[in-house]
């Protein structure tokens, strides 16, 4: 019997050393997708939600030791849409990440594979800073996923410290930033990973469109980035229709996220 193919074998058409993904349903979906491809092993690190969740997860000495051995990684998970161009279930490849200028996460310096001497290919609007993702790694991921997602193109993503639940706020953020998708982990990851010799890119699946208002789940997020089940149930119960929209969109997006993980594993064989 042949040994399992490791994620860091140079002979692999696509070499992924590891995946980072928010804990819970997103982590489980990614693991299911990878498990569907026998013989491929990709380590997966679960993260908490938002800045504190990412920071605490990556302060773990064991996690830091693991990250020190990685050279290429993928961040996966769900995201919200800020544009009518992206609907529930659409896959997004971040070509750059932007955030509001003056955010406490703003910093200087380069990440591996990042040439900031060149003008950004996905510039944000005035009032926002951005971090470009390494183009060669983006190209490799897009090619690997082309059989199922042939039109996947790099997109500007927005990192936001707070949940964006109201439709009007999503549309306003999209118009002001120029970004088409939003999540809460991108900038904290840039901060935390810049000290590693690690090239990484982000793949997110849209779980809510820009026209839908969702329940406010902010009170249910604990300081460590995990969810409080009781407060989550209360938030969902306050607006049953919005809760239904959230659950329906999340289930569809999680199914696509699982397919993406499986596709990445297949591309490594």
DSSP state string for 200-251:
EEEEEEEEE-TT------GGGB-TTS-B-HHHHHHHHHH-HHHHHHHHHHHH
| DSSP assignment of 104-150 | TT------TT--TTSPPSS---TTEEEEEPPHHHHHHHHHHHTTT-T
The pLDDT of residue 9 is 37
- The Cα 69–Cα 163 span in angstroms is 33
Under 8 Å between Cβ of 154 and 94: yes
Under 8 Å between Cβ of 177 and 51: no
Task: Look at residues 88, 105, 242 and name the one whose alpha carbon lies nearest to residue 161.
Answer: 105
Q: At what angle do helices 186-193 and 50-58 cross, to 10 degrees?
A: 30
Instruction: Tokens 């490791």: give the residue.
Output: 6
Provide the whole-model pTM. Answer: 0.85
> Which stretches of the chain score pLDDT less than 50?
1-12, 107-119
The pLDDT of residue 218 is 66
Q: Reduced to 3 states, what is the DSSP secondary structure of residue 10?
A: coil
The pLDDT of residue 211 is 95
The pLDDT of residue 228 is 64
Element (H, E) at 46: strand 44-47
The pLDDT of residue 126 is 85
Model confidence over 78-124: pLDDT tens digits? 999 999 999 999 999 999 999 998 765 554 444 444 444 444 567 77
The domains of the chain, with CATH numbers, are: 5-267 (3.40.50.1580)
User: Which token pair is 259?
Assistant: 């397919």
């Amino acid at each position: 019997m042949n040994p399992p193919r490791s994620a860091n074998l140079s002979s692999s058409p696509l070499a992924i050393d590891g995946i980072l993904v928010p804990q819970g349903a997103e982590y489980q979906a990614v693991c299911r997708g990878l498990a569907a491809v026998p013989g491929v092993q990709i380590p997966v690190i679960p993260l908490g939600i938002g800045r504190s969740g990412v920071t605490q997860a990556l302060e773990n000495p064991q996690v830091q030791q693991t990250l020190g051995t990685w050279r290429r990684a993928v961040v996966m998970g769900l995201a919200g849409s800020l544009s009518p161009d992206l609907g529930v279930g659409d896959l997004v490849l971040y070509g750059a990440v932007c955030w509001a200028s003056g955010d406490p996460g703003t910093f200087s310096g380069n990440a591996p594979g990042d040439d900031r001497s060149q003008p950004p290919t996905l510039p944000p609007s005035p009032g926002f800073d951005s971090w470009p993702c390494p183009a060669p790694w983006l190209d490799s991921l897009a090619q690997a996923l082309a059989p199922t997602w042939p039109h996947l193109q790099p997109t500007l993503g927005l990192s936001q410290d707070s949940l964006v639940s109201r439709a009007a706020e999503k549309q306003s953020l999209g118009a002001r930033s120029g970004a088409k998708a939003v999540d809460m982990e991108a900038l904290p990851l840039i901060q935390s990973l810049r000290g590693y010799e690690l090239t990484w890119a982000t793949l997110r699946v849209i779980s809510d469109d820009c026209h839908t208002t969702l329940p406010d789940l902010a009170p249910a997020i604990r300081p460590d980035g995990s969810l409080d089940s009781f407060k989550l149930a209360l938030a969902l119960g306050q607006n049953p229709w919005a809760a239904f929209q959230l659950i329906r969109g999340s289930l569809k997006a999680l199914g696509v996220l699982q397919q993406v993980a499986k596709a990445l594993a297949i591309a490594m064989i």
